[in-house]
Amino acid sequence: MSPSGITRRTALTATALLLGSAGAQAQQGIEERTLRIGTTVPADHPISLGARKFVEIVAARSGGKLKVKDYPALALGPELQQQSALVGGVQEMFVPSSATLAGAVREFGLLDLPFLVRTPAQADALMDGPFGQALLARLPDKGFIGLAFWENGLRHVTNSRRPVQRLEDLQGLKIRVQQNPVFIDMFKALQANPVPMSFGEVYGALETRALDAQENPLLVARSAKLFEVQKYASTTGHAYGVIVVLVSRKFWDKLSGEERKVLQAAALEARDYQRRISREQSRQAVDDLKAAGMQINEVSAAEQERMRQATQPVTDRVLQTYDPALVKLLRSELERVARIS
Protein backbone atom coordinates (compact mmCIF):
# COMPACT_ATOMS: atom_id res chain seq x y z
CA MET A 1 0.00 0.00 0.00
CA SER A 2 1.47 3.41 -0.99
CA PRO A 3 2.46 5.87 1.78
CA SER A 4 -0.55 8.05 0.86
CA GLY A 5 -2.67 4.90 1.12
CA ILE A 6 -1.31 4.25 4.60
CA THR A 7 -1.87 7.88 5.52
CA ARG A 8 -5.40 7.70 4.19
CA ARG A 9 -6.10 4.46 6.04
CA THR A 10 -4.67 5.92 9.25
CA ALA A 11 -6.75 9.02 8.79
CA LEU A 12 -9.87 6.96 8.22
CA THR A 13 -9.14 4.85 11.27
CA ALA A 14 -8.50 7.95 13.33
CA THR A 15 -11.74 9.50 12.07
CA ALA A 16 -13.66 6.35 12.81
CA LEU A 17 -12.14 6.22 16.27
CA LEU A 18 -12.91 9.90 16.77
CA LEU A 19 -16.50 9.56 15.57
CA GLY A 20 -16.88 6.34 17.43
CA SER A 21 -15.49 7.88 20.56
CA ALA A 22 -17.49 11.05 19.86
CA GLY A 23 -20.58 8.86 19.51
CA ALA A 24 -19.71 7.00 22.67
CA GLN A 25 -18.73 10.27 24.31
CA ALA A 26 -22.05 11.77 23.27
CA GLN A 27 -23.83 8.87 24.88
CA GLN A 28 -21.59 9.38 27.89
CA GLY A 29 -23.46 12.66 28.26
CA ILE A 30 -26.64 10.62 28.49
CA GLU A 31 -27.86 9.11 31.72
CA GLU A 32 -30.33 6.23 32.14
CA ARG A 33 -33.70 7.98 32.33
CA THR A 34 -37.36 7.00 32.03
CA LEU A 35 -39.79 9.49 30.49
CA ARG A 36 -43.57 9.39 30.10
CA ILE A 37 -45.20 10.98 27.03
CA GLY A 38 -48.98 11.45 26.89
CA THR A 39 -51.21 11.94 23.84
CA THR A 40 -54.90 12.81 23.63
CA VAL A 41 -56.09 10.35 20.98
CA PRO A 42 -56.21 6.53 20.64
CA ALA A 43 -53.05 4.56 19.84
CA ASP A 44 -53.94 4.13 16.12
CA HIS A 45 -54.22 7.88 15.45
CA PRO A 46 -51.25 9.54 13.66
CA ILE A 47 -50.59 11.76 16.71
CA SER A 48 -50.09 8.67 18.88
CA LEU A 49 -48.24 6.87 16.07
CA GLY A 50 -45.95 9.92 15.93
CA ALA A 51 -45.32 9.58 19.67
CA ARG A 52 -44.51 5.90 19.18
CA LYS A 53 -42.02 6.80 16.44
CA PHE A 54 -40.51 9.41 18.79
CA VAL A 55 -40.07 6.68 21.43
CA GLU A 56 -38.20 4.50 18.92
CA ILE A 57 -35.94 7.29 17.68
CA VAL A 58 -35.00 8.41 21.21
CA ALA A 59 -34.09 4.83 22.17
CA ALA A 60 -31.96 4.44 19.04
CA ARG A 61 -30.19 7.81 19.41
CA SER A 62 -29.49 7.31 23.14
CA GLY A 63 -28.22 3.75 22.95
CA GLY A 64 -31.32 2.72 24.90
CA LYS A 65 -30.46 4.96 27.84
CA LEU A 66 -33.48 7.27 27.42
CA LYS A 67 -36.55 5.08 27.81
CA VAL A 68 -39.78 6.81 26.80
CA LYS A 69 -43.14 5.19 27.58
CA ASP A 70 -46.13 6.44 25.59
CA TYR A 71 -49.63 6.79 27.04
CA PRO A 72 -52.29 7.44 24.35
CA ALA A 73 -55.95 8.51 24.71
CA LEU A 74 -55.49 10.79 27.73
CA ALA A 75 -54.48 7.76 29.87
CA LEU A 76 -52.46 10.16 32.05
CA GLY A 77 -55.46 12.47 32.55
CA PRO A 78 -57.29 15.34 30.83
CA GLU A 79 -55.35 17.89 28.78
CA LEU A 80 -55.16 20.60 31.45
CA GLN A 81 -54.14 18.06 34.12
CA GLN A 82 -51.28 16.75 31.97
CA GLN A 83 -50.18 20.31 31.20
CA SER A 84 -50.11 21.03 34.95
CA ALA A 85 -48.15 17.81 35.54
CA LEU A 86 -45.48 19.06 33.11
CA VAL A 87 -45.30 22.44 34.84
CA GLY A 88 -44.92 20.65 38.17
CA GLY A 89 -42.25 18.34 36.77
CA VAL A 90 -44.17 15.15 37.66
CA GLN A 91 -44.68 14.20 33.99
CA GLU A 92 -41.95 14.64 31.38
CA MET A 93 -43.79 15.03 28.03
CA PHE A 94 -47.23 15.67 26.54
CA VAL A 95 -48.41 16.11 22.94
CA PRO A 96 -51.66 18.15 23.03
CA SER A 97 -53.58 20.28 20.59
CA SER A 98 -52.16 23.82 20.62
CA ALA A 99 -55.64 25.01 21.65
CA THR A 100 -55.35 24.06 25.32
CA LEU A 101 -52.00 25.90 25.56
CA ALA A 102 -53.89 29.17 25.09
CA GLY A 103 -54.62 29.02 28.83
CA ALA A 104 -50.87 29.28 29.50
CA VAL A 105 -49.85 31.46 26.53
CA ARG A 106 -52.86 33.37 25.21
CA GLU A 107 -51.22 33.93 21.80
CA PHE A 108 -51.44 30.21 20.99
CA GLY A 109 -55.09 31.10 20.37
CA LEU A 110 -53.94 32.87 17.18
CA LEU A 111 -53.53 29.39 15.67
CA ASP A 112 -57.24 28.74 16.15
CA LEU A 113 -58.45 31.73 14.14
CA PRO A 114 -61.09 30.64 11.65
CA PHE A 115 -59.87 29.69 8.19
CA LEU A 116 -56.29 30.75 9.04
CA VAL A 117 -54.65 28.38 6.53
CA ARG A 118 -56.15 26.19 3.84
CA THR A 119 -53.57 23.53 2.99
CA PRO A 120 -51.06 21.35 4.86
CA ALA A 121 -48.22 23.01 2.93
CA GLN A 122 -49.34 26.44 4.14
CA ALA A 123 -49.66 25.10 7.70
CA ASP A 124 -46.15 23.59 7.64
CA ALA A 125 -44.65 26.82 6.26
CA LEU A 126 -46.38 28.88 8.96
CA MET A 127 -45.58 26.59 11.89
CA ASP A 128 -41.98 25.79 10.90
CA GLY A 129 -41.20 29.44 10.19
CA PRO A 130 -40.57 32.48 12.43
CA PHE A 131 -44.15 32.68 13.72
CA GLY A 132 -44.10 29.12 15.04
CA GLN A 133 -40.71 29.72 16.61
CA ALA A 134 -41.97 32.93 18.23
CA LEU A 135 -44.83 31.00 19.82
CA LEU A 136 -42.49 28.27 21.13
CA ALA A 137 -40.26 30.99 22.61
CA ARG A 138 -43.18 32.00 24.89
CA LEU A 139 -43.44 28.55 26.49
CA PRO A 140 -40.37 28.31 28.83
CA ASP A 141 -41.67 31.12 31.06
CA LYS A 142 -44.81 29.03 31.56
CA GLY A 143 -42.94 25.81 32.42
CA PHE A 144 -42.87 24.15 28.98
CA ILE A 145 -40.29 23.50 26.28
CA GLY A 146 -41.86 23.09 22.82
CA LEU A 147 -39.86 20.83 20.51
CA ALA A 148 -41.95 20.65 17.34
CA PHE A 149 -45.32 21.18 15.72
CA TRP A 150 -47.09 18.09 14.44
CA GLU A 151 -50.35 17.84 12.50
CA ASN A 152 -53.90 17.33 13.65
CA GLY A 153 -55.42 18.67 10.43
CA LEU A 154 -58.37 20.61 9.04
CA ARG A 155 -61.23 20.56 11.51
CA HIS A 156 -64.77 19.66 10.43
CA VAL A 157 -68.11 19.52 12.23
CA THR A 158 -69.83 16.23 13.03
CA ASN A 159 -73.29 16.03 14.60
CA SER A 160 -76.26 13.75 15.26
CA ARG A 161 -79.06 16.05 14.06
CA ARG A 162 -78.62 17.15 10.43
CA PRO A 163 -76.14 17.67 7.61
CA VAL A 164 -74.44 21.08 7.86
CA GLN A 165 -74.78 22.36 4.29
CA ARG A 166 -75.14 26.07 5.04
CA LEU A 167 -74.10 28.51 7.77
CA GLU A 168 -77.66 28.46 9.14
CA ASP A 169 -77.47 24.69 9.76
CA LEU A 170 -75.07 25.35 12.65
CA GLN A 171 -77.65 27.42 14.51
CA GLY A 172 -78.58 25.98 17.88
CA LEU A 173 -76.23 22.97 17.72
CA LYS A 174 -74.84 22.12 21.17
CA ILE A 175 -71.26 21.61 20.07
CA ARG A 176 -68.24 20.57 22.12
CA VAL A 177 -65.24 22.79 21.56
CA GLN A 178 -61.70 22.76 22.89
CA GLN A 179 -61.04 24.69 26.08
CA ASN A 180 -59.99 27.88 24.35
CA PRO A 181 -61.69 31.30 24.09
CA VAL A 182 -61.21 31.59 20.33
CA PHE A 183 -63.14 28.36 19.65
CA ILE A 184 -65.89 29.39 22.08
CA ASP A 185 -66.27 32.80 20.42
CA MET A 186 -66.02 31.29 16.93
CA PHE A 187 -68.98 28.96 17.44
CA LYS A 188 -71.00 31.63 19.22
CA ALA A 189 -70.51 33.78 16.13
CA LEU A 190 -71.72 30.82 14.05
CA GLN A 191 -74.92 30.85 16.17
CA ALA A 192 -74.14 27.45 17.75
CA ASN A 193 -74.01 26.69 21.50
CA PRO A 194 -70.33 25.90 22.25
CA VAL A 195 -69.48 23.75 25.30
CA PRO A 196 -65.73 23.66 26.18
CA MET A 197 -64.72 20.18 27.33
CA SER A 198 -61.78 17.78 27.53
CA PHE A 199 -61.67 15.43 24.54
CA GLY A 200 -61.92 12.49 26.94
CA GLU A 201 -65.54 13.38 27.75
CA VAL A 202 -66.71 13.93 24.17
CA TYR A 203 -67.77 10.39 23.19
CA GLY A 204 -69.97 10.01 26.30
CA ALA A 205 -71.55 13.46 25.90
CA LEU A 206 -72.42 12.68 22.28
CA GLU A 207 -73.69 9.19 23.16
CA THR A 208 -76.13 10.54 25.79
CA ARG A 209 -77.12 13.40 23.43
CA ALA A 210 -76.03 15.86 26.09
CA LEU A 211 -74.28 17.33 23.07
CA ASP A 212 -75.30 17.30 19.41
CA ALA A 213 -71.92 17.92 17.83
CA GLN A 214 -68.17 18.22 17.99
CA GLU A 215 -65.49 19.45 15.60
CA ASN A 216 -62.24 17.70 14.74
CA PRO A 217 -60.32 16.36 11.74
CA LEU A 218 -62.09 13.29 10.34
CA LEU A 219 -59.17 11.11 11.45
CA VAL A 220 -59.99 11.96 15.07
CA ALA A 221 -63.64 11.03 14.43
CA ARG A 222 -62.49 7.70 12.97
CA SER A 223 -59.94 6.92 15.65
CA ALA A 224 -62.26 7.82 18.55
CA LYS A 225 -65.10 5.86 16.87
CA LEU A 226 -67.35 8.93 16.86
CA PHE A 227 -69.19 7.36 13.91
CA GLU A 228 -70.94 5.27 16.58
CA VAL A 229 -72.55 8.40 18.07
CA GLN A 230 -72.56 10.88 15.16
CA LYS A 231 -74.60 10.47 11.97
CA TYR A 232 -73.36 13.45 9.97
CA ALA A 233 -69.93 14.87 9.07
CA SER A 234 -69.67 18.14 7.15
CA THR A 235 -66.38 19.47 5.75
CA THR A 236 -66.54 22.97 7.22
CA GLY A 237 -62.71 23.16 7.37
CA HIS A 238 -63.19 26.04 9.81
CA ALA A 239 -59.75 25.73 11.47
CA TYR A 240 -56.45 23.86 11.09
CA GLY A 241 -55.51 21.83 14.15
CA VAL A 242 -51.90 22.10 15.32
CA ILE A 243 -50.24 19.68 17.76
CA VAL A 244 -47.33 20.71 20.02
CA VAL A 245 -44.66 18.34 21.37
CA LEU A 246 -44.06 19.55 24.92
CA VAL A 247 -41.39 18.80 27.52
CA SER A 248 -41.60 19.81 31.17
CA ARG A 249 -39.21 22.76 31.69
CA LYS A 250 -38.36 21.43 35.15
CA PHE A 251 -37.35 18.11 33.60
CA TRP A 252 -35.55 19.79 30.66
CA ASP A 253 -33.42 21.88 33.03
CA LYS A 254 -31.97 18.64 34.47
CA LEU A 255 -30.84 17.34 31.07
CA SER A 256 -27.36 17.50 29.57
CA GLY A 257 -26.79 19.14 26.21
CA GLU A 258 -26.48 15.69 24.64
CA GLU A 259 -29.79 14.52 26.12
CA ARG A 260 -31.55 17.66 24.91
CA LYS A 261 -30.14 17.18 21.42
CA VAL A 262 -31.53 13.63 21.32
CA LEU A 263 -35.06 14.74 22.29
CA GLN A 264 -35.04 17.75 19.96
CA ALA A 265 -33.77 15.75 16.95
CA ALA A 266 -36.23 12.92 17.62
CA ALA A 267 -39.20 15.31 17.83
CA LEU A 268 -38.28 16.82 14.45
CA GLU A 269 -37.61 13.45 12.79
CA ALA A 270 -40.88 12.06 14.17
CA ARG A 271 -42.64 15.23 12.93
CA ASP A 272 -41.90 14.47 9.30
CA TYR A 273 -43.12 10.90 9.75
CA GLN A 274 -46.22 12.04 11.66
CA ARG A 275 -47.27 14.62 9.08
CA ARG A 276 -46.78 12.10 6.26
CA ILE A 277 -48.95 9.39 7.80
CA SER A 278 -51.53 11.96 8.92
CA ARG A 279 -51.98 13.07 5.31
CA GLU A 280 -51.93 9.55 3.95
CA GLN A 281 -54.56 8.38 6.42
CA SER A 282 -56.72 11.51 6.03
CA ARG A 283 -57.38 10.56 2.43
CA GLN A 284 -58.74 7.20 3.63
CA ALA A 285 -60.75 8.57 6.57
CA VAL A 286 -63.72 9.79 4.47
CA ASP A 287 -64.27 6.34 2.95
CA ASP A 288 -63.84 4.65 6.33
CA LEU A 289 -66.41 6.90 8.00
CA LYS A 290 -68.88 6.36 5.14
CA ALA A 291 -68.35 2.60 5.43
CA ALA A 292 -69.06 2.95 9.17
CA GLY A 293 -72.43 4.51 8.33
CA MET A 294 -71.77 8.25 8.52
CA GLN A 295 -73.29 10.60 5.97
CA ILE A 296 -70.55 12.99 4.84
CA ASN A 297 -71.26 16.19 2.90
CA GLU A 298 -68.90 18.70 1.32
CA VAL A 299 -69.49 22.27 2.48
CA SER A 300 -69.21 24.54 -0.56
CA ALA A 301 -66.54 27.24 -0.80
CA ALA A 302 -69.33 29.81 -0.90
CA GLU A 303 -70.78 28.57 2.41
CA GLN A 304 -67.30 28.36 3.95
CA GLU A 305 -66.87 32.00 2.95
CA ARG A 306 -70.17 32.88 4.64
CA MET A 307 -68.92 31.10 7.78
CA ARG A 308 -65.63 32.98 7.58
CA GLN A 309 -67.47 36.30 7.26
CA ALA A 310 -69.72 35.40 10.20
CA THR A 311 -66.61 34.82 12.35
CA GLN A 312 -64.70 37.88 11.09
CA PRO A 313 -65.61 39.94 14.22
CA VAL A 314 -63.93 37.25 16.34
CA THR A 315 -60.81 37.39 14.21
CA ASP A 316 -60.78 41.20 14.26
CA ARG A 317 -61.15 41.32 18.05
CA VAL A 318 -58.31 38.81 18.56
CA LEU A 319 -55.99 40.62 16.16
CA GLN A 320 -56.72 43.94 17.89
CA THR A 321 -56.18 42.67 21.45
CA TYR A 322 -53.43 40.02 21.28
CA ASP A 323 -49.71 40.82 21.45
CA PRO A 324 -49.13 43.35 18.61
CA ALA A 325 -45.63 42.06 17.76
CA LEU A 326 -46.91 38.50 17.29
CA VAL A 327 -49.96 39.71 15.40
CA LYS A 328 -47.72 41.72 13.06
CA LEU A 329 -45.50 38.69 12.48
CA LEU A 330 -48.57 36.49 11.90
CA ARG A 331 -49.95 38.91 9.30
CA SER A 332 -46.67 39.00 7.35
CA GLU A 333 -46.27 35.23 7.59
CA LEU A 334 -49.85 34.64 6.39
CA GLU A 335 -49.11 36.81 3.34
CA ARG A 336 -45.98 34.73 2.67
CA VAL A 337 -47.63 31.33 3.06
CA ALA A 338 -50.76 32.35 1.11
CA ARG A 339 -48.59 32.17 -2.01
CA ILE A 340 -47.95 28.49 -1.28
CA SER A 341 -50.53 26.20 -2.83
Which residues would be at the binding site for ligand EAX (CB under 6 A)? 40-41, 96-97, 152, 178, 199, 216, 220, 241
Cβ proximity to ligand EAX, 178 vs 311, nearer residue:
178
Cβ proximity to ligand EAX, 192 vs 220, nearer residue:
220
Return d(Cα 285, Cα 150) in angstroms, integer.
18
* Smallest gap from residue 144 Cβ to ligand EAX (A): 16
* Smallest gap from residue 20 Cβ to ligand EAX (A): 41
* Smallest gap from residue 159 Cβ to ligand EAX (A): 15
In 3D space, the residue among 100, 124, 111, 118 whose CA is nearest the CA of residue 235 turns out to be 118
Neighbour-count burial of 41, counting CB atoms closer than 10 A to its CB (0-12 exposed, 13-18 middle, 19+ buried): buried
* Smallest gap from residue 179 Cβ to ligand EAX (A): 8
| Per-residue buried b or exposed e for 184-209, using 16+ beta carbons within 10 Å of the residue's own CB | bbbbebbebbbbebbbbebbebbeee
Report the helix count and the strand count for the chain, using DSSP H and E: 12, 9
Cβ proximity to ligand EAX, 97 vs 281, nearer residue:
97
* Smallest gap from residue 96 Cβ to ligand EAX (A): 6
Cβ proximity to ligand EAX, 62 vs 83, nearer residue:
83
Cβ proximity to ligand EAX, 144 vs 329, nearer residue:
144
Return d(Cα 313, Cα 19) in angstroms, integer.
58
Return d(Cα 176, Cα 97) in angstroms, integer.
15
Cα 12 → chain centroid: 44
In 3D space, the residue among 112, 126, 119 whose CA is nearest the CA of residue 337 turns out to be 126
